[in-house]
Chain A
Amino acid sequence: MEQTMKLGTNKTGIDMSPIHTKEMLEAIENTPVVPAALVQGEQTLKQTFIEEAGPLGSVPLPGTVKGVAKSLLKTITGHHPEVFINKLGERLAYERSGVRIYDALIAKCQHTITSGMIEQKIDIATMQHFREEEAQHFELLVANIKKLGADPTAQTPDADAIGVASSGLMKVITDPRTSISQSLEAMLAIELADNAAWELLITLAEDMGFSTMAEEFRAALRQEDVHLATVKSWYEELVRSQATSPAP
Chain B
Amino acid sequence: MTVRLFDGKGAALERQKFTWRELTPKPLSKLDDDAFTRVRVILMNGIEQQANRFQHMCGQFNGELREALAKIRRVEHHQQTMINWLLGSDHSPLETTIGYEQVAIEVTAAIAQQEPDEYLAQTYRFGMLEDFDHLYRYSALLDRVEGKDANNILQSYTDILPGRPTIVEHRAPADDLRHAYDRKATLPISKMNALTIFSGEYQTRDYYMNIGPTFSDPVARALYAEIASIEEQHVTQYGSIIDPNETWLEKWLLSEANEVYTYYSCMVAETNPRIKAIWERFLDYELGHLQVVSELFKKYENRDPAEILPETLPDPIAFESQRDFVRKVLSQEVDLRARGEEFVHKDEEGKASQEYRNYMNSEGSPTEEIGNSYQWHPGTELARKIA
Contact = CB atoms under 8 A, between A and B. Distances in A.
A153 B149 contact: yes
A192 interface: no
A99 B147 contact: yes
A153 B378 contact: yes
A53 interface: yes
A63 B147 CA distance: 23
User: Which of B89, B220, B379 has the most chain A CB within a 10 Å cutoff?
Assistant: B379
Contact of A58 (B31, B152, B380): B31
Interface stretch (B22-30, B161-169, B188-196, B239-247): B22-30
A163 B32 contact: no
A103 B385 CA distance: 17
Interface string A138-163: 11001100000000111111001101
Interface string B355-387: 000000000000000000000001110110110
A153 B31 contact: no
Contact of A54 (B26, B144, B148, B151): B26
Interface residues on B, range: 20 to 34
Contacts of B31: 56-58, 155-157, 160
A105 interface: no
Contact of A142 (B30, B88, B149, B383): B383
Interface string A48-73: 11001111111000000000000000
A132 B171 CA distance: 42
A56 B386 contact: no
Interface residues on A, range: 35 or more
A86 B378 CA distance: 18
Contacts, number: 91
Contacts of B90: 56, 160-161, 163-164
Contact of A160 (B21, B30, B385, B386): B30
Contact of B218 (A52, A161, A171, A176): A176
B188 to A, nearest CB: 40
A117 B26 CA distance: 50
Contacts of A97: 146-148
Contacts of A160: 30-31, 90
A175 B386 contact: no
A45 interface: yes
Interface string B1-34: 0000000000000000000110010100111100
B216 interface: yes
A213 interface: no
A231 to B, nearest CB: 18
Contacts of B386: 139, 142-143
Contact of B145 (A57, A104, A154, A164): A104
Interface string A195-238: 00000000000000000000000000000000000000000000
A55 B378 CA distance: 25
Given A104-B217, A175-B216, A96 B380 contact: yes
Contacts of A96: 147-148, 379-380, 382
A127 interface: no
Interface in B21-66: 21, 24, 26, 29-32
Nearest to A172: B216
B81 to A, nearest CB: 15
Interface in A158-199: 160-161, 163-164, 167, 170-172, 174-176
A174 B145 contact: yes
A184 B129 CA distance: 42
Contact of A57 (B32, B89, B146, B379): B32
Given A45-B20, A100-B146, A138-B383, 16 more contacts: A45-B21, A48-B21, A54-B29, A56-B31, A56-B88, A56-B90, A57-B29, A96-B148, A135-B382, A139-B385, A142-B379, A152-B379, A153-B149, A160-B30, A164-B89, A174-B217
23 contacts: A49-B21, A49-B24, A54-B26, A56-B90, A58-B32, A93-B148, A98-B147, A99-B382, A100-B144, A100-B145, A100-B147, A103-B144, A104-B145, A138-B383, A139-B385, A153-B149, A160-B31, A163-B148, A164-B92, A167-B92, A167-B146, A171-B215, A174-B216
Interface of A: 45, 48-49, 52-58, 93, 96-101, 103-104, 135, 138-139, 142-143, 152-157, 160-161, 163-164, 167, 170-172, 174-176
